[in-house]
Structure 1
Amino acid sequence: MKKQELIHLHGLLSEVHTQMETWEDDDVDISEYESMGVRPTSIHRSKTDHKAAVFKMATGITAAMEETETERVAPKAD
């Protein structure tokens, strides 16, 4: 994946996080991500930094989703 694509993905995950924060019962712990100091607008940072930030943000988001989801949904196509 190119650096520009990683920055775009980083921005999209940031939007997902913002949306999840607006929901009343979701608490997304992204402290590891925030400690990195890499934001989607940090275009001067390296590709490796953005890749690590994307993984940490995605981990925080999925952990929050796993906490709120108690019932498994069977995969099926419409």
Structure 2
Amino acid sequence: MSSSLYEIVELANGDVVLQRADENGEPLVSIRFSADSLSYMREGKLDVAKAMIEAGMEAASEIAEDGAEDFLGEFADTEEKPVYH
């Protein structure tokens, strides 16, 4: 199984994206800040984007874990026993 490396990059248009380091495909996540929000963040733009991406990845991981538990729980919680004849 191969693992991918990811990078957070600021594009020429000012967007901050999460992309695979070894590919030229579409970014996995793209963040665009408004002019108003940029005036508040000043030099912290990349720090804020990184925190947003980390929070999103954590939330996605929790959702995936909950989904697997729900799926497996359907089979583990059955009280009916198989009937053999």
Bin the TM-score by the shorter chain: 0.3 to 0.5
Structure with the bigger percentage of helix: 1
TM-score by length of 1: 0.37
Higher relative contact order (CA 8 A, sep 6+): 1
Please tell me whether Structure 1 or Structure 2 has the larger radius of gyration of its CA atoms. 2
TM (norm. structure 2) is: 0.34
